[in-house]
Structure 1
Amino acid sequence: MCFFWLWSPIIRGLWVLSSQKLRVHGFEGPKTNMLCLSLKVVCAVFISEFSVIFAKDMAYFLSNQMDRLNEVLPEGYVHTFLIRHPRKTVASLYKASLNDSTKGFNYFDPAQAEFKSLHDLFFTIKGQTGETPLVIDADDLLENPDRMLKKYCMKTGLTFSEKMLKWDRGGMSDLEEAFPGWQEVLNETTGFLKPQATSPKEDPKLSEAAEQAIHDNMEYYNTLYSYRISC
């Protein structure tokens, strides 16, 4: 069995993969924080069904535990990082947070889009392992999904499959029902969409707080971007 942990600024869930099926487990609330799932627990629950465990989480949820990362980081996993330009990340969160159809959200919290935790986590893992964690930029992935996923698999030891490039429309219906407003675009697609150009200009549709969040995140994003793999 192989274990992989993908860290990003936004979105969390536990993805359990096999050659036949994909099961998604989301964890919300203090009593079911996904970081409480130790390697031992995950093995006990899924080892009989799956050959690969792929967890996806937000470094933000470690922001108040950065002084004790050695105690809370899951062990035995291959840690990789997914980044996206702050102007796109913050704008996306801002739009979804104020979407009337988004369950449980009607406000924008800049802290949830912060990159500092992701930056600090990256260098903590780098220091602990003596190796540089794999970093993928979302625009690179969207521009060349075939090449990027092949390189990701080669560097992590996963087996690449053409099935990684396509999926059934509506495949996220269960998540969309549980968390409406967050997977609308994904749920209507069947593959990767080309990335939109990143505008250097301020967006008049964003609040001052959102624009400040973009500005605050750029330093951390640029540092992580310098470590990204490319085609």
Structure 2
Amino acid sequence: MWSGPRNISTALMYAFAQRDDTTVVDEPLYGHYLSKTDAKEYHPSADEVMESQETDGQKVIDEVILGDYETPIAFFKNMSHHLVDLNWSFLEETTNVILTRPPRDMLPSYIKHIENPTMEDLGYAKHLEIVEYLKTVGKKPKIVDAKNILQYPQSRLRELCGSLGIPFDEAMLKWPAGPRKEDGVWAKHWYHNVHRSTGFRKYQANKDPFPEELEDLLEECQEAYEKLLEHAGD
């Protein structure tokens, strides 16, 4: 799964973790991304993240993403903007899901953690690059909108599982409150809400006044978001 930040990606990882047939892995390329970009200067606990993970992205691809697992399904929660300075050909060997979210809902949440974000931090443009790459190699990713999952969790998860060729499991709708052993060391900064949850929370549009300084970025994100949804209908 290739997500942007603040897109209920951790909740989806928790949902898949309830399946007996699935192993989940939390953002295996985060350390690689930090080691290759200036994001290490403003991401919380960047040094701790890099110390906790392999930072050689190719090794992560070979040994983790394309590694062997005891379960028939391995679910990797990834951020799309972590795909930097890497050969993308491994995507041809995986089943790819892209998770997006309306940027007006996402941006106010993100700036609580990262001030002055740029388009490169948010994943929308990278999502489009991933889709275009996969189309050139004859693969079509499943594009999922977080808003729809929050509105209709059971039907949308059933639909997602069907598109992946796996049975839907009712256990995916609920999980115990609190952290999971798979959580990355960054959970203390980002996972407060999901740790208080026991399932998908009902969707509520963000009705707070939108930060004026983010209006230009919102427009850029919205354009990419709408293009991505157009691909979902291809």
TM-score (norm 2): 0.73
TM alignment of 1:52-71, pairs within 5 A: 52-62=73-83, 64-65=84-85, 70-71=88-89
Question: Does 2:140 match 1:132?
Answer: yes
Name the counterpart of 1:83.
100
Matched residue count: 203
- Pick from 155, 163, 186: which aligns with 1:147? 155
Q: Distance in 2 between matches of 1:155 and 1:82?
A: 14
Taking only the aligned residue pairs, the percentage that are identical comes to: 23
Letter in 2 for 1:37: V
**What SS does the aligned partner of 1:91 have?**
helix
TM alignment of 1:28-39, pairs within 5 A: 28-29=30-31, 30=35, 32=55, 36-39=59-62
Letter in 1 for 2:224: Y
Q: Which has the higher contact order (CA 8 A, sep 6+)?
A: 2
Name the counterpart of 2:196.
188
Greater share of helix residues, 1 or 2?
2
Question: Does 2:16 match 1:8?
Answer: no
The 1:135/1:20 distance shift into structure 2, 3 A limit, reads: closer
Question: Does 2:122 match 1:113?
Answer: yes
- Pick from 53, 62, 71: which aligns with 1:50? 71
What displacement does 1:138 show?
A: 0.6
Structure 1 unaligned regions, length at least 5: 1-5, 98-106
What displacement does 1:25 show?
A: 4.0
What displacement does 1:35 show?
A: 5.9
Name the counterpart of 1:100.
none
The 1:25/1:224 distance shift into structure 2, 3 A limit, reads: closer
What displacement does 1:74 show?
A: 3.4
CA RMSD, 1 decimal: 3.1
What displacement does 1:227 show?
A: 3.6
Regions of 4+ moved over 6 Å: none
Q: Distance in 2 between matches of 1:41 and 1:132?
A: 23
Letter in 2 for 1:74: L
